Amino acid sequence: MTRFAFLLIFVALGLAAAPVRADDQVARGEYLFRAGGCLGCHTAPGGAALAGGRALVTPMGTFYGPNITSDPEHGIGRWTDEEFVRALHRGVGRGGEQLYPVFPYPSFTKITDADAKAIKAYIFTLPPSSQPSKPHDVPFPFNIRLLLIGWKWLNFSPGVFKPDEAKTPEWNRGAYLVEALAHCGECHTPRNLMGGIERSRALSGTAKGPDMKPAPNITPDPETGIGKWNQNDLAYFLESGIDPDGDVTGSVMDEVIQNTTSKLTSDDRRAIAAYVLSLPPVVHKVGRK
């Protein structure tokens, strides 16, 4: 790959060192915010945007997305850029508390500093909400946050995404979106008994995905995954929610398409498709495709 092509990868990922005007940063932050799916987990049905209260049912208990509006008392209005980046990259809150990995920092750790700060800049332009965050309903011993230090040691590998110079800019953009911002593996990858992602079976689906519902295999296995789909099929599905058989998606994925993937550019949807379909196929049948 030429040096020029490799430079394009960095530009596409927002890694260029050129200064960014505040309005440009907010506009980019809005796009990244949608790519990250922040609205879904932090907004209760019928509630104010990002005011928290959305229930996330897991084998470890029920977690509630917190208020992440710019309200200084009940939201993140007093958070600095550095504290916000630390939460995404290290899973540590403003007060030094360990954050539960239901907040997908094992994927968000790959988001670049510039992109993380742009997301925060956009969030701070939205209306604040004084609604208190709802306490998690998590039984003993999972309610002991200090145990998360051990969980991280076993299941968490921090580090910002690094593009692969041997791959195309499209592939690297797709990898960044899938592995970092869109955090697809958080829902579509099986987990071990401790709730850690089984990376050897990445994206191969799980019977206990979001809200304990199945998340299908999206590796390119032709029988149990989406190996019979081509790049156009997957890109169109991410835009419309309609698969090559004419079926319409439902459940959580419908929300993801409405709030996230349909809002991406056509190039980004094609990049996601190119990356996903390039991965090793994994034989693992879980629900419908």
Contact 136, 63 (CB under 8 A): yes
> Residue 227 corresponds to which amino acid?
G
Asked whether the beta carbons of 236 and 230 are under 8 A apart, the reply is no
Kindly state the average pLDDT of the residues 263-282.
Answer: 97
Write down the pLDDT at residue 193. Answer: 86
Q: Are 138 and 62 in contact (CB under 8 A)?
A: yes
pLDDT above 60 (res 10): no
Q: What is the pLDDT of residues 98-140, one digit of tens each?
A: 999 999 999 999 999 999 999 999 999 999 999 999 999 999 9
Query: Is residue 83 helix, strand or coil?
Result: helix
What integer pLDDT is reported at residue 252 of this predicted model? 86
pTM of structure? 0.89
The C-alpha atoms of residue 184 and residue 210 are separated, in whole angstroms, by 11
Higher pLDDT, 142 or 20: 142
- Strands (DSSP E) contained in the chain are 55-58, 61-64
Which residue ranges make up each domain of the chain?
Answer: 3-155, 184-278
- Predicted confidence (pLDDT) at residue 191 exceeds the cutoff of 50: yes
pLDDT tens readout for residues 219-266 = 999 999 999 999 999 999 999 999 999 999 877 899 999 999 999 999
Q: What is the mean pLDDT of the chain?
A: 91
At position 245, the amino acid (one-letter code) is: D
Which residue reads 């609604």 in tokens?
131
User: How much helix, strand and coil, in percent to the nearest 5, is found in the chain?
Assistant: 40, 5, 50
Q: How confident is the model at residue 55 (pLDDT cuts 50, 70, 90)?
A: very high
